[in-house]
Amino acid sequence: MTKHSGIIAAGHHETAMAGAEILRSGGGAIDAAIAAAFASFVAEPTLVSPGGGGYALCFRGDNGGARLYDFFCNFPGLSSVPPSKIDFFPVSVDYGPANQVFHIGRGSLATPGVIAGLCRMQAEGGRLPLSVVLEPAISLARSGVRLGEFGSAVGHLLEPIFRHDENLARLFGAPDRFMAPDWVYRNPDLASTFELLGREGPNLFYREEIAHLIVADQEAHGGLLNLEDLAAYNVIVREPLHMRYRQFELLTNPPPSRGGALIAFALGLLESYDIASLRFGNARHLALLTEVMRQTNLARPLFEATRDAEILLDPKLIAQHSRDLGWRLAHEGRGQTMIEPAHPEHNNTTHLSVLDDEGNFVSLTTTAGESPGYVLSGTGLVLNNILGEADLHPDGFHQGQPGARIGSMMAPTIVLCKGEPVLALGSGGANRIRTAILQVITNFLDFDIDLPTAVAAPRIHFEQGVLQVEGRETQDALAELQRWGYELNFWEGLHMFFGGVHAVGKDASGNYQGAGDARRNGAVIRV
């Protein structure tokens, strides 16, 4: 059997190891990405689960083709009358500086897509049988994975959700070891479910045994999801959003999702500036990034109203915003300017990036929200609470069109130079996904910083008139920003608030690199 070399960057060492194992077994980048994604449901259980949704951007080295697999969640309720009482209730999570309210329960479950998406990717681009690609995840689910400090910290943040259901809480060490860093997370029921999936394929989840178990639980406990929702679910293969940036070409997630379009808009604003002439991290560099973030936030309502990337990226609109950007950069007192509207996003997301020795690249992002607060009996499945994310439902909870795809900020991205990929990246991190990806792109392309340093470099995020700053910027730069009128909020060291960019790429000398973001427990393995 031919072994393949490559690099995988992911949110946990065991996630990356699963992908590496498949590369060594003869799989390519797609096989490795799918194996790693399934493994992440065990190795990163406080962040993601197999009951959510996501996106994957795949680039084929043999013909230069790229496809965006959209397997995010649909709004349910195609064929049933809503129950008289929906199981849907708020839970407050204490993030320290502020509390955030999420909604959980059976009524928070949107039609899941991640199983359908990963299985379709495997069928269309994989080299190995699905059952083989699932083996690392099955083994992990039986033997277990320590939560570790990061998994424990995330779990404690979401304690009201993970403790809501007794069976779910026991998976995480309750009553005495709940979310302890050395707790070994095992899920033998999930291992059995994955074994069944390997034999029977995705119809298991959408038409057959598991589908009926999900719907029976929904009907018994006040949920909205029905068998028609599951049977009608389709993975959508989209043309990636394309945009030129200097001598590069950006491929990213197109509408109806928003992250890719907003990243492209921000790069359109940056293109007219000679970023490489700036000193990285000085006040001028940080002010430029800040004002580009502000201007993108001001342009965002137009995209939210139209979901049309062509309108957002129209050169005339970018030129108009560029004039406003230039004016603001030339004046002080910037903190007194118009405050852009707030757009919160879901927080619990993970990403992985893979390349192989045949020039194939995969950038894959998944989420399940914060989980619905229960585990489906006998299956080990923790589903999603995407209907409980207020930011995804601007018209109000449970007001969506049944069968419609829900939008997201997730933005798996690949950058090409002369038609060949030089960077694949993505991030978790809610509304900071787009600013994290933007900064790594400019660090890597404009400043020509090696990929691990580009990912590890301190970040900023500007929203609602406040500039969030990671704690390693120079004091002189920060003092200058404050003098110019910015309100700053300091974060000590690297923090998961600023995303988790796991990336692979090729530097100017043609050397392949990988970078796992320490903010979210990142790991890199080279095969």
Could you tell me which of 523, 474, 518, 471 has the C-alpha nearest to residue 499? 518
Rounded to whole angstroms, the Cα distance separating 483 from 324 reads: 21
DSSP character at residue 304: H
CB atoms within 10 A of CB 476: 10
The DSSP string of 35-55 is HHHHHHHHHSTTT--TTSEEE
The dihedral region occupied by 197, where left means phi > 0, alpha psi between -120 and 50, and beta the remainder, is: alpha
Contact predicate 228/245, CB 8 Å = no
Give residues with Cβ within 8 angstroms of 512, minimum separation 6.
7, 355, 504, 505, 506, 526
Backbone angles phi, psi at 468, to 5 degrees: -85, 130
Interior CA angle at 214 toward 208 and 215, to 5°?
90
- Please state whether the predicted TM-score (pTM) of the whole model is above 0.85: yes
Catalytic residues: 349
CA contacts within 13 A on the Cβ side of 106: 20
Contacts of 79 by beta carbon, 8 Å cutoff, 6+ apart: 226, 227, 228, 229
Distance between CA 52 and CA 44 in Å, rounded? 13
Query: Chain-centre distance of CA 135, in angstroms?
Result: 24
How far is Cα 168 from Cα 166, in angstroms, rounded to an integer? Answer: 5
Nearest to 238 by CA among 394, 73, 66, 407: 66
Give residues with Cβ within 8 angstroms of 259, minimum separation 6. Answer: 252, 253, 408, 409, 410, 411, 433, 434, 437
**Structural domains of the chain ordered from first start:** 6-58+70-234+368-392 (no CATH), 238-341+411-526 (3.60.20.40)
Element spanning 249, H or E: strand 248-252
> What is the pLDDT tens value at each position of the chain, 527 positions in all?
577 799 999 999 999 999 999 999 999 999 999 999 999 999 999 999 999 999 999 999 999 999 999 999 999 999 878 888 999 999 987 766 556 788 999 999 999 999 999 999 999 999 999 999 999 999 999 999 999 999 999 999 999 999 999 999 999 999 999 999 999 999 999 999 999 999 999 999 999 999 999 999 999 999 999 999 999 999 999 999 999 999 999 999 999 999 999 999 999 999 999 999 999 999 999 999 999 999 999 999 999 889 999 999 999 999 999 999 999 898 765 654 555 555 444 457 899 999 999 999 999 999 999 999 999 999 999 999 999 987 677 677 888 899 999 989 999 999 999 999 999 999 998 889 999 999 999 999 999 999 999 999 999 999 989 999 997 667 789 899 999 999 999 888 899 999 999 999 998 888 999 999 999 999 999 99
